[in-house]
Amino acid sequence: QSVLTQPPSVSGAPGQRVTISCTGSSSNIGAGYDVHWYQQLPGTAPKLLIYGNSNRPSGVPDRFSGSKSGTSASLAITGLQAEDEADYYCQSYDSSLFYVFGTGTKVTVL
């Protein structure tokens, strides 16, 4: 059972903005550890989307942005596109469990 909680699903129409929350605790996000985000398209390996809470690796569109506050983090997708339909996972370090992933969120483009 993951210690980082995400909503099971979010949806939006093309062009809209959606956000995905990632709620942790004082032993992970709240302790100041970085949060990273991944996108996983069906049948493929995850892709690093955001690292260090709010930074994008080269090649990731600026439609994707990340933030962190307290014991939570968020991923925002603006200008939602059909190709954004995927599963999204947050990830952090936990002082007891080492590396932990979020429960995952399925994004549906209506």
| Residue 86 near residue 37, CB atoms below 8 Å | no
Tell me the closest approach of the beta carbon of residue 16 to other proteins, in angstroms: 25
Burial class (CB in 10 A: 0-12, 13-18, 19+), 47: middle
Residue choice 36, 72, 73, 77 for contact with other proteins (CB under 8 A): 36
Q: Which of residues 85-104 bind other proteins (CB under 8 A)?
A: 89, 91-93, 97-104
How many residues bind to other proteins according to rule CB under 8 A?
A: 25
Query: Quick one: 36 or 79, whose CB is closer to other proteins?
Result: 36
Q: Which two tokens stand for residue 36?
A: 């990273």
Residue choice 9, 14, 17, 57 for contact with other proteins (CB under 8 A): 57
Query: Quick one: 37 or 79, whose CB is closer to other proteins?
Result: 37
Max intra-chain CA distance, the chain: 40
Beta strand residue intervals within the chain, DSSP E: 9-12, 18-23, 36-40, 47-50, 64-69, 72-77, 86-94, 98-101, 105-109
**54 scored as a contact of other proteins (CB under 8 A):** no
Site residues (vs other proteins, CB under 8 A) = 2, 34, 36, 38, 40, 45-48, 51-52, 55, 57, 89, 91-93, 97-104
